[in-house]
């Protein structure tokens, strides 16, 4: 998990050209264990930039080189906030998705952000959230 945070931070820092701090991590659940002796490859990709925050998709692969076998071990989403030298949030450049996959991740990032804000109680379901259709009010 530490490697995932570091790789994600590097992607966020490269995109923003600022120092960054981890704001949140979505559920980390390894779908497959990484066997001892496997080579681990991490791919970090900025999926969307908001005002001061960025969502990063991190994919973890485990590879048994002698057997020529590579498996997807985990995928997770991290959120980072760009900060200035005084630790205050800093605006980040917009992200312009190019491929169809990037465009899909970009659109889905807005819904994931809404869910994060809802779960952290920083946003109420009544705030015209796209998520209202997924939750029943009691």
Q: How confident is the model at residue 121 (pLDDT cuts 50, 70, 90)?
A: low
Which is higher by pLDDT, 64 or 117? 64
Mean pLDDT of 48-62: 96
Cα–Cα distance, 2 to 73 (Å, whole number)? 15
**β-strands 39-49, 69-83 pairing:** unpaired
84 is a domain residue: yes
* DSSP character at residue 131: G
- Indicate whether 124 pLDDT > 70: no
Mean pLDDT of 1-24: 96
Which is higher by pLDDT, 123 or 44? 44
Cα–Cα distance, 105 to 103 (Å, whole number)? 6
Q: Report the percent of the chain where pLDDT is more than 90.
A: 70
- Give the pair of three-digit tokens for residue 106: 């970009």
pTM of the predicted model, to two decimals? 0.83
25 is a domain residue: yes
33 is a domain residue: yes
83 is a domain residue: yes
Q: How confident is the model at residue 26 (pLDDT cuts 50, 70, 90)?
A: confident
- Indicate whether 2 pLDDT > 90: yes
44 is a domain residue: yes
Which residue range is the domain that position 73 belongs to? Answer: 2-95
Kindly report the CATH number assigned to the domain that includes residue 82: 3.10.129.10
32 is a domain residue: yes
14 is a domain residue: yes
Number of folded domains that form the chain: 1
User: What pLDDT does 115 receive?
Assistant: 80
15 is a domain residue: yes
Q: How confident is the model at residue 138 (pLDDT cuts 50, 70, 90)?
A: low
Cα–Cα distance, 23 to 9 (Å, whole number)? 11
Q: How confident is the model at residue 47 (pLDDT cuts 50, 70, 90)?
A: very high
């Amino acid at each position: 998990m530490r490697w995932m945070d570091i790789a994600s931070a590097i992607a966020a820092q490269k995109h923003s050209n600022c120092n960054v701090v981890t704001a949140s991590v979505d559920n980390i659940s390894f779908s497959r264990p990484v066997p001892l002796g496997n080579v681990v490859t991490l791919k970090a990709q900025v999926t969307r930039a908001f005002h001061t925050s960025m969502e990063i998709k991190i994919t973890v692969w485990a590879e048994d080189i002698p057997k020529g076998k590579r498996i997807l071990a985990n995928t997770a989403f991290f959120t980072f906030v760009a900060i200035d030298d005084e630790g205050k949030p800093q605006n980040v450049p917009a992200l312009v998705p190019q491929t169809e996959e990037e465009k899909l991740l970009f659109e889905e990032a807005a819904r994931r952000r809404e869910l994060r804000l809802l779960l952290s109680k920083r946003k109420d379901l009544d705030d015209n959230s796209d998520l209202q259709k997924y939750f029943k009010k009691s």
